[in-house]
Structure 1
Amino acid sequence: MPAECKVMLDSDSVSEKQTSSCRLTTALLVFTLCLAAAAAAAVLLFNKQHQEPQGDENSLDLHHTLRQISNVRAAIHLEGYYNPMRKNSVEWKPQVDQFHSQGGFELDHNEIVIPQRGLYFVYSQASFRVSCSSGEDDLSSHNSLVHLSHTVKRWSSTYESDDRNRKYETILHSIRTACQKTSSSDPDQEGKWFSTVYMGAVFNLSQGDRLRTVMEERMLQDLEDDPGKTFFGVFAL
């Protein structure tokens, strides 16, 4: 009997050890699963944090592009033509060739109207085809030396004048000499000569200011009005 009792006690001890071992194994398994779950959560959080800035950056780029589209700078570009009915200026026409207008610019009575106060670059070009002659006997003739000029004038409400008696002031003026030939000139270059007068500068203009061009009537008949040769424009800075 004592021996059996001892055996019984040893069996209980082994059972307790097995139970403890199972509990430890279960605890380790649960701990491992917890670690795996935490690691997976950390990976998901990391990926989300790195993906969100990219989305924000794309959104910022889109908003920046939209702002650029909505904040288009004011500009106008006109092509010029010869109109026999207009005696002192090129005829500026919209809706032809390279014409464009945005930001509130208007063409009124052959004049550009400034939409709002600010700095603007004003430019204009006039191209001519003039007849030239050569030879010692022709050097003193009218066609041996031709003066070409082009002018841009401004009217502003800041001037001391009323709308009925508008006083225009010159803001751009250019003049050049063409057809200065000698008897030794290349005979192949006889006949028509082509010359261009270009000018441009920055001005501080007010809303409602008007810009117009002026040219001598005698030069208008020699105007080159093919696309891209004679133009007038303004754009905001």
Structure 2
Amino acid sequence: MVAYTTPPGDVEMALEERTVVLVEKKSSTGWMWKVSGALLIVALCIGGVLLFAWYSKGRPEMEMQSGQKEALTKTDTSEKTDHHDTLRRIGSKAKAAIHLEGSYDEDNKTSQLEWKNGQGQAFAQGGFRLEKNQIIIPQDGLFFVYSQASFRVSCSDGDEEHGAGKRLTPLSHRIWRYSESIGSNVSLMSAVRSACQNTALEEAYSSGQGWYNAIYLGAVFQLNSGDKVWTETNQPSELETDEGKTFFGVFAL
């Protein structure tokens, strides 16, 4: 029977093998740390992306809410503006529109309210014309016709008898239409106010502030090309013709 002995070389080789094994374990541990570190970096990146996405999603909502608040503010502001500014803005966006400012000259022989184009905020576009104080409709269709007459009446002038008469004075404003298809003048709209009717304001009347009120007319009508529309006011000398107080216009729908 042959006995085997381990030569010194084999022992050294075994030690080397054991050493190699130990090195492999050390390398494996380092690889695991690297993988863990990489996973941590990936997790941080994903977290950053999610955080950025959440922030990006939330910001438009904040901007939208801010925009809504701003829109509401603008709406509130627009609701507080008078008919003149609102109608002028609407009319300026229409393809065909005309907006006129009122004027009255006591020395004018006609003694009537005159409408001016190209004065103040007045304008005309889309074929509308102002001829002989009348608006000429450029085409068939639906139109919004509107007008406002502002009055300031001095109810007391020192003559009680005359002042009492003024308290009964009606103020009227009317819009007329003439169409060849009808062949006659037709009243589109009208309104009447009684001046100086509130006796509780006697002190204000006597101090020179007078009685102030405005008649506003506005409605939609089917008009034809060549139709004429104009206004009639019974007390033009009592009108307030400062810019934006007395106006007349039409715009296509």
Give me the TM-score of the superposition, normalised by structure 2: 0.57
Q: Which residue, out of 124, 127, 144, partners 1:101?
A: 124
Shift of 1:177: 1.1
- Structure 1 counterpart of 2:250, one-letter code: V
Identity over aligned residues, as a percent? 46
Among 202, 208, 215, the alignment partner of 2:220 is 202
Q: Which structure 2 residues correspond to residues 88-237 of structure 1 after superposition, within 5 A?
A: 89-133=112-156, 141-160=164-183, 167-182=184-199, 184-185=200-201, 187-190=203-206, 191=208, 192-216=210-234, 219-237=235-253
Partner in structure 2 of residue 79 of structure 1: 101
Tell me, in whole angstroms, the C-alpha distance in 1 between the residues paired with 2:233 and 2:162: 25
- Contact 2:156–2:205, Cα closer than 8 Å, also in 1: no
Structure-2 change in CA distance of 1:138 and 1:229 (3 Å):
same
1:125–1:198 contact (8 Å) kept in structure 2 = yes
3-state DSSP class of the match of 1:221? helix
Structure with the higher fraction of residues in helix conformation: 2
Take 1:210 and 1:195, find their aligned partners in 2: how far apart are those partners? 28
The number of equivalent residue pairs is 157
- Structure 1, unaligned runs of 5 or more: 1-70, 161-166
Structure of greater relative contact order (alpha carbons < 8 Å, 6+ residues apart): 1
Change (3 A) 1:147 1:197: same
| Mapped contact 2:166–2:195 kept (Cα < 8 A) | no
Shift of 1:96: 0.4
Kept in 1, the 8 Å contact 2:178–2:186? The answer is yes
Question: For the structure 1 residues 152 and 86, does the alpha-carbon distance in structure 2 shift closer, same or farther, using more than 3 Å as the test?
Answer: farther
Report the residue type matching 2:95 in the other structure.
R
Q: Give how far 1:213 is off.
A: 0.8
Taking a change above 3 Å as real, the CA distance of residues 222 and 140 of structure 1, as seen in their structure-2 partners, is closer
Question: Is the 1:120–1:203 contact (alpha carbons within 8 Å) kept by the matching residues of 2?
Answer: yes
CA-CA distance at 1:133 after TM superposition: 3.7
Q: SS at the partner of 1:132?
A: coil
**What is the CA-CA distance between 1:181 and the residue it aligns to?**
3.1
Secondary structure at the aligned position of 1:126 is classed as strand
In structure 2, relative to structure 1, the CA distance for the partners of 1:227 and 1:111 (3 Å cut) is same
Deviation at 1:101, TM superposition (A): 1.2
Cα 1:170/1:97, change in 2 over 3 Å? same
SS in 2 for 1:97: coil
